[in-house]
Chain A
Amino acid sequence: MLNQLVLLNAVGYQTTISSIVVVTGSFVLLLVLIKKFAWEQIVEVFQKRADQINHDLDSAEESRVKAKKHEEIMIQRLSASQLEAATIVKDAKQVGEFNRQVILDETKEEVARMKEKAQAALLNEKEQALVEVKQQVAQLSIQLAEKILSHELSLENQEMLIDQYIDGLGSDYETR
């Protein structure tokens, strides 16, 4: 039994060494093969990857710088726009104020004109009414006088009027 175990152990020991040799050999072979056939590609892939990463890093930096510049420009523009907006608002306010003043002045003038016109019309109407009243009074007075005279003038009075006319002929009466 013990022999068997020693034998087995001796066999096992031999197997382990051979396995190590084989595995090591295989590994070396693998390394050789890799070195011969795939190393360059692998290095190339890694190099590419490294380049890509470096490139990306550079791009990112560039983008950041660009973004920074862009931001500054935008800030400048914004400031300019704000200034411009302020100027526009100020101008608009001034124009608005000016227009308001103009409209106010014009309205005041128009109102004054209308008032003046209305007063003139009123005065004219008043004068017209006065003239009409005068005319009516004159008309009535004359009608009344005509009526009285047509009835009241006696023959003597009529003859006296004729005598007066004859006396005043050549000086007192209007010729037409």
Chain B
Amino acid sequence: MKLDKYTVGKRYGKALFELAEEEQVLDSVFHDVQTLREVIVDVPELRLILNNPNVPTVEKQQLLHSLLQEMEEVTRHSLLVITENHRLLELPFIFDAFEEAYYESKRILKATVTTVVPLTSKQKEQLSKKLIQQFGYETVAFHEQIDSSILGGVILEMKHQIIDGSVKTRLETLKKALSK
């Protein structure tokens, strides 16, 4: 049976998390994962090469080896296994699953906030307080996104939930009500 990318991501991500926890290098591996995410975003060609089935696995491993030199043993080893098992396509989902497990273990609520203008520090603090109160976490890690198409207000995404308070959505709701 062919597994979907989410299931694959969950399995490998959980394995990476458990290994890092066992080796007591959780924070370092988390840092490595963040760095790798940035590298993949900054160098899109890297992703193209890693996803190209015509590039031999050995070459991919060599490339990763040079990239992973400075990283934790656990990260290096896991990435090589992922490459060997031809699961590089699912890398973003593996990182997602790892991060989720990491945040859960640290009682950190990861939230993506979309606004038209950046949140002020006061707003962040207030929002953080509200979310901690509501969801029972110790801290909140915000990932901020600026998107003018939402026209105003906030869209909050966390723990597979979306709390939509954007002006655009309100207008859409109004449009539906007017069309009836």
Tell me, yes or no, whether A binds B: yes
- Find out whether the CB atom of B117 lies under 8 angstroms from the CB atom of A169: no
- Find out whether the CB atom of A169 lies under 8 angstroms from the CB atom of B134: yes
- Find out whether the CB atom of B126 lies under 8 angstroms from the CB atom of A166: yes
Main secondary structure of the interface of A (DSSP, over half): helix
Is B130 engaged at the interface, CB distance under 8 Å to the other chain? yes
Query: How many inter-chain contacts with C-beta < 8 Å in the A-B complex?
Result: 85
Determine which of A138, A145, A161, A176 lies in contact with B164 in the assembled complex, contact meaning CB atoms within 8 Å.
A176
Number of interface residues of B (CB under 8 A): 32
Contacts A138-B175, A141-B178 given: A173-B115 contact, CB under 8 Å?
Answer: no
Q: B171 — which chain A residues lie within 8 A by C-beta? A: 142, 145-146, 149
Contacts A138-B178, A142-B171 given: A166-B123 contact, CB under 8 Å?
Answer: yes
- Find out whether the CB atom of A169 lies under 8 angstroms from the CB atom of B123: no
Q: A161 — which chain B residues lie within 8 A by C-beta? A: 152-154, 167
- Find out whether the CB atom of A169 lies under 8 angstroms from the CB atom of B151: no
Is B163 engaged at the interface, CB distance under 8 Å to the other chain? yes
Contacts A142-B171, A149-B167, A173-B163 given: A131-B179 contact, CB under 8 Å?
Answer: yes
Minimum distance in angstroms from B58 CB to a CB of chain A:
46
Minimum distance in angstroms from B78 CB to a CB of chain A:
34
Q: B175 — which chain A residues lie within 8 A by C-beta? A: 138-139, 141-142
Is B92 engaged at the interface, CB distance under 8 Å to the other chain? no
Number of interface residues of A (CB under 8 A): 31
Is B116 engaged at the interface, CB distance under 8 Å to the other chain? yes
Q: A146 — which chain B residues lie within 8 A by C-beta? A: 151, 168, 171
- Find out whether the CB atom of A135 lies under 8 angstroms from the CB atom of B162: no
Q: B121 — which chain A residues lie within 8 A by C-beta? A: none
Tell me the chain A residues, 124-175 only, with Cβ under 8 Å from chain B: 131, 134-135, 137-139, 141-142, 145-146, 149-150, 153, 155, 157-159, 161-166, 168-170, 172-175
Is B73 engaged at the interface, CB distance under 8 Å to the other chain? no
- Find out whether the CB atom of B178 lies under 8 angstroms from the CB atom of A162: no
Determine the distance from Cα of A162 to Cα of B126 in the docked complex, in whole angstroms.
11
Minimum distance in angstroms from B6 CB to a CB of chain A:
19
Minimum distance in angstroms from B122 CB to a CB of chain A:
9
Q: Which residues from chain B sit less than 8 Å from chain A, CB to CB?
A: 115-117, 119-120, 123, 126-127, 130-131, 134, 148, 151-154, 156, 161-165, 167-168, 171-172, 174-176, 178-180
